A and B are shown apart, each in its own frame.
Chain A
Amino acid sequence: EPEVTQTPSHQVTQMGQEVILRCVPISNHLYFYWYRQILGQKVEFLVSFYNNEISEKSEIFDDQFSVERPDGSNFTLKIRSTKLEDSAMYFCASSESRSTDTQYFGPGTRLTVL
């Protein structure tokens, strides 16, 4: 069964450093998403991406964040200058079409900012 994959599974970085989290969505999917989950808290929407542009973003997704689909398979989330409060589990998801369709989630990348 096709699945969304994410790398790395765990990333440790120093405050102020840039990180790039990588995702490979399911191959025929057209809509891509990033969510984050701070330890013990709920899953929060960050951004959705369609047709090579951001479709919607939350207030969390400020200028420190960016997303890119650099090639036909990868979907990345970049945090330019990490803060302690960016420590969280980051989930990538993809769906075949609209958000009413099932979003398939990857296993997540745990980001730890020291």
Chain B
Amino acid sequence: AQSVTQLGSHVSVSEGALVLLRCNYSSSVPPYLFWYVQYPNQGLQLLLKYTTGATLVKGINGFEAEFKKSETSFHLTKPSAHMSDAAEYFCAVSSFTGGFKTIFGAGTRLFVKA
């Protein structure tokens, strides 16, 4: 069975500060990992994904995430927060287990203070 745990339902940072959103996963097969962002009243937009290969993945809007198998983690970072980064962020895990299914974490709402 797969699961995703996002540590911290709310994270608040100052503009220009480092953003760190934590995600840990559980999967019985090699996972494929995703970060999505959701702005108010909008759908989900893919930030980045890890499938295979390089464990440090770069995405849109300056975000990146590192897959650490030993820690079962896929934390999302951005060196310098911008006001426009304020949104809900979802970590997700997917794997082919005879079917196609993506499991989402509970989400972390990012607040950016001026």
Identify the A interface with B (CB < 8 A): 4, 31, 33, 35, 41-45, 48, 50, 55-56, 58, 91, 93, 98-100, 102-108
Contacts and interface: CB of A to CB of B under 8 A. Distances in A.
Given A99-B32, A99-B94, A100-B32, A106 B43 contact: yes
Nearest to A110: B41
Interface size range on B against A: 20 to 34
A100 B36 CA distance: 14
Contacts of A45: 101-104
Contacts of A104: 46
Among B46, B94, B95, the most chain A Cβ lie within 10 Å of the Cβ of B94
A99 B104 contact: no
A34 B5 CA distance: 21
Nearest to A56: B99
B90 interface: yes
For chain B, what secondary structure do more than half of its interface residues adopt (helix, strand, loop), or is it mixed? strand
A58 B107 CA distance: 20
Interface of B: 32, 36, 42-46, 49, 51, 90, 92, 94-96, 98-107
B29 to A, nearest CB: 11
Given A43-B90, A99-B32, A107 B101 contact: no
Given A100-B32, A100-B51, A44 B104 contact: yes
A4 B44 CA distance: 11
Contact of A99 (B102, B106, B107): B102
Contact of B44 (A56, A91, A98, A99): A91
Given A56-B98, A99-B96, A99-B101, 6 more contacts: A42-B90, A45-B101, A56-B100, A56-B101, A102-B46, A108-B42
Nearest to B45: A105
B43 to A, nearest CB: 4
A74 B51 CA distance: 29
Contacts of A50: 100
Nearest to A104: B46
B98 A103 contact: no
Contacts of B45: 105
